[in-house]
Amino acid sequence: MGIDIEAVLYMRIIFRGGLDFLGIDMRETLNRGRGYIWSPSLNTIWAILGVETAYGVNFGKYRVIDVLTTKSMTGHRRSKFYRDELEKYLLITEI
């Protein structure tokens, strides 16, 4: 099998996006969030952001606070989990 050129180019775009993302001084924001989540590693946080959002390119359809609030308070089967996540989100974002 040959090299998947499309995949290589896509990964280069994502990697470049990650460098640009950190270039806009996100380190302070990432450092602030370190105390509230399981990972002490900025590289881990950076990688998760890259996978989940393509470094800020993909925002999704719904705001995080809306999803967490709805799922934590409407009798969802995992409402305790979502309530805990909502609390962490509020602490991280200082809302």
> How many domains are there within the chain?
2
Does 46 lie in the same domain as 33? yes
Does 22 lie in the same domain as 53? yes
Does 83 lie in the same domain as 55? no
Q: DSSP states of 18-55 as a string?
A: HHHHHHTT-HHHHHHHHTTSS---HHHHHHHHHHHHTT
Does 52 lie in the same domain as 75? no
Asked whether the whole model's pTM tops 0.75, one would answer no
Does 70 lie in the same domain as 54? no
Does 42 lie in the same domain as 30? yes
Does 13 lie in the same domain as 31? yes
Which of the four pLDDT bands, split at 50, 70 and 90, describes residue 81?
very high
Q: What is the pLDDT of residues 13-37, one digit of tens each?
A: 766 777 676 666 666 766 666 666 6
Q: What is the pLDDT of residues 26-72, one digit of tens each?
A: 667 666 666 666 555 666 767 777 777 776 666 778 888 999 999 99
Domain extent for 46: 1-59
